[in-house]
Amino acid sequence: MASIRFDKIGKQFGETEIIKNLEFSVNDGEFMVFVGPSGCGKSTVLRMIAGLETISSGEIWIGDRVVNNVHPKDRDIAMVFQSYALYPHMSVYDNIAFGLKIRKLPDADIRKRVKDAAELLGLVNFLDRKPKALSGGQRQRVALGRAIVRNPSVFLFDEPLSNLDAELRVQMRAEISKLQRRLNTTTVYVTHDQVEAMTMGQRIAVLSACDKNKPRATNLMQCGSPMDLYDRPDNIFVARFIGTPNMNIVPARLSDDGSTVNSLGGSMPVSAQFKQAAQAMRGREVMLGIRPEHIGAAHEIDWPQTQAIQGQVEMVELLGHEAILHFKVGGQIMVGRLHSHGHLPAPGDTVTMQMKCEAIHLFDPVTELRLR
């Protein structure tokens, strides 16, 4: 068991900055998910923990030692790769046992450990098979087996589910979570899929790519529990990235006394959490964010305070339990939610929807940070 700490980590490939001033820690036994769009450096973070990538600046701690110059094999970690990276010429047994054989464990011990892992993962009947004779999900399990059999203090997962089909992905998602809770091993999990991040992570770190045109202090956008990120996104990037469908973000203006915010032809009271910040920015432009589930039809909701907006329907996506409504309000596409069994408008119809006032988020249009 071990915690992991990143202390002002930076990484450049030549001139290109990949990771900037990254600071966070993963607690002992915690399941931490790194999520971000492709090119944000999340895999690099994982590979730096594994020791497969050098570090340009800063220190990485695993447990109570700096591991910057520690060889991967001495870091007491195990990694599961996106491609599984199984050894194609070895049987499942040998694949799982390889790391133990290299470490020269006694044969009896190896046999017992492989057997235990195989039982845990349901691979007992496949131990003699070669990887190419396995299905995707079974290969994934072998990769997991190879990781857990060594009983490492840290698990690293690099997009392990992205090669699986949708159904299997949901199943393996649950299995990995269960396994981690059972073994209680510190885990860092990298994915580009925010649903995976939300469902699996005890905490989530959102990364964005370093952008020369938008200099930021770090490319760690926010780090917190899933609901933290969902309910209180630190900035527009996180607000947009977490949650499906994406949060609506529209330009707005605070009233001269800072008590209401005007947007989409309506005016809404500023909720308590933004009161102070809104006072400071009164009369100025802000960005207003509201999640699609907080825009609904009047007869389907019972929110205490709402603001009506009127627009033209662009598209209705029927999901079964609900319908996603895309409608245009003064040139701005908004996304709202309807019950799927109610009356559904057709494209071109004019609709009036209600926004839940206390659910709005306010952001600074220049820094893109949440007002606070």
3-state secondary structure 289-312: EECHHHEECHHHCCCCCEEEEEEE
Q: Which stretch binds other proteins (CB under 8 A): 83-91, 208-216, 236-244, 264-272?
A: 83-91
3-class secondary structure, 42: helix
3-class secondary structure, 115: helix
Q: Which stretch binds other proteins (CB under 8 A): 99-107, 118-126, 193-201, 225-233?
A: 99-107
Q: How far apart are CA 57 and CA 90, in angstroms?
A: 39
Judged by beta carbon, residue 63 or residue 72, the one nearer other proteins is: 72
Q: Which stretch binds other proteins (CB under 8 A): 23-31, 84-92, 257-265, 319-327?
A: 84-92
As measured in angstroms, the least distance from the Cβ of 85 to other proteins is: 4
Q: How far apart are CA 141 and CA 19, in angstroms?
A: 31
Contact status: 266 vs other proteins (CB under 8 A): no
Judged by beta carbon, residue 103 or residue 328, the one nearer other proteins is: 103
As measured in angstroms, the least distance from the Cβ of 136 to other proteins is: 16
As measured in angstroms, the least distance from the Cβ of 145 to other proteins is: 12
3-class secondary structure, 69: coil
Which single residue is written with the structure tokens 């590979």? 47
Parallel/antiparallel/unpaired status of strands 260-263 and 248-254: antiparallel
Judged by beta carbon, residue 24 or residue 81, the one nearer other proteins is: 81
Parallel/antiparallel/unpaired status of strands 77-80 and 154-158: parallel
Judged by beta carbon, residue 150 or residue 337, the one nearer other proteins is: 150
Contact status: 105 vs other proteins (CB under 8 A): no
For the CA atoms of 347, 353, 359, 365, the dihedral, rounded to the nearest 10 degrees, stands at 60
Judged by beta carbon, residue 144 or residue 329, the one nearer other proteins is: 144
Contact status: 190 vs other proteins (CB under 8 A): no
Show the site string, 36-75: x = touches other proteins by CB under 8 A, - = not.
--------------xxx-------------------xx--
Q: Residues 8, 103, 178, 328: which binds other proteins (CB under 8 A)? A: 103
As measured in angstroms, the least distance from the Cβ of 173 to other proteins is: 21
Size of the site for other proteins (CB under 8 A): 22
Contact status: 99 vs other proteins (CB under 8 A): yes
Q: How far apart are CA 139 and CA 365, in angstroms?
A: 47
For the chain, strand residue ranges (E) read: 4-13, 16-26, 31-35, 57-62, 65-66, 77-80, 154-158, 186-191, 203-207, 220-224, 248-254, 260-263, 266-269, 285-290, 295-296, 306-318, 322-329, 332-339, 350-356, 361-363
Q: How far apart are CA 1 and CA 29, in angstroms?
A: 7
Closest CA to 192 of 79, 77, 41, 48: 41
For 148-247, strand residue ranges (E) read: 154-158, 186-191, 203-207, 220-224
The phi, psi pair for 21, rounded to 5°, reads 50, 55
Q: Which stretch binds other proteins (CB under 8 A): 95-103, 160-168, 190-198, 299-307?
A: 95-103
Judged by beta carbon, residue 77 or residue 254, the one nearer other proteins is: 77
Find how far residue 152's CA is from the centre of its chain.
Answer: 24
Q: Residues 45, 77, 206, 371: which binds other proteins (CB under 8 A)? A: 77
As measured in angstroms, the least distance from the Cβ of 197 to other proteins is: 23
As measured in angstroms, the least distance from the Cβ of 74 to other proteins is: 8
Q: Residues 14, 88, 106, 348: which binds other proteins (CB under 8 A)? A: 88
Show the site string, 125-154: x = touches other proteins by CB under 8 A, - = not.
---------------------x---x----
Contact positions vs other proteins (CB under 8 A): 50-52, 72-73, 77-79, 81-83, 85-89, 98-99, 102-103, 146, 150
